[in-house]
Structure 1
Amino acid sequence: MSQHKHLYNSARWKRMRARQLESEPLCRMHAELGQLVGATVVDHVKAHRGDVELFFDHDNLQSLCKPCHDAHKQAQEHSASGLLRGAGHDGRPLDLAHPWHQPARGVGAGEKSEVPSTQDRRLPTACTPAKLGGGA
């Protein structure tokens, strides 16, 4: 963050951050587990890496608690596969780019798959490893 500190110190970011936490006050990762934990960090779903347009893209923001941001989100960004570990309540992998979400072999041309696009790594409601719930 240090090389992009000027973006985080801008009045525009501070207003966006406040609006994000107001509109989504709970941690998305905990919400996926049915847990109500207050969010304190506004995270960029897709790492901006200094891209000002992506940095200020409201649709690229999610609210997280500090432990989720500092542990699970950072692990995803630094993993070789770039996949978020864990599964939601229904057992499906949380990361929409996970191979499980790929269309089944045999889906013919012209048939529309119900699988979300892998280009959008944002999860339908949240993204969190199952470990947050205290499991193995």
Structure 2
Amino acid sequence: MTIKSWMGAGLLLLTTSAYAADSDRFVSKLALPTGQTVVVAEGDFEARSIGSFSVRLYEAAAAPDETTFFSAGLIRPRDGVVEKVMLADIDGDKRQEVVVLVRSAGSGSYLSAHAFTPAKSKLVYRGAVMGLAANADPIKALRRLGKKR
């Protein structure tokens, strides 16, 4: 094997290793009652403890095409790691919002919750509550935020 071949193989190995190290990143796909699909993912190549997350909305489609027809997306900052994605009615309108929970990496394990309303072909950022106690109810906190508006 020539030096050039060894260098090429080494570069391929380095690229593969960098990609493999990124596999512990949070990514989740969630089916909405409307048939649409939401994908939430931490930002590529960012530190696990701080960075961004994306929320992407896809048109209704049967598997395996549920992420084929992109409709809208938003990117938000995060201070911590995305822990969970859930649906909850935070404003009492009988429609589910997408709620992204982020847990801080510091000693307090503080919680933040970010809410998004999926519409026909768009996502609306509803707001966030930050610095919640580690054992707080983030849905209750988001509902209080909605009442202040």
Greater helix share, structure number: 1
**TM-score greater than 0.5 by the shorter chain:** no
- TM-score, with normalisation over the residues of structure 2? 0.26
Larger Rg: 2
Greater strand share, structure number: 2
- TM-score, with normalisation over the residues of structure 1? 0.27
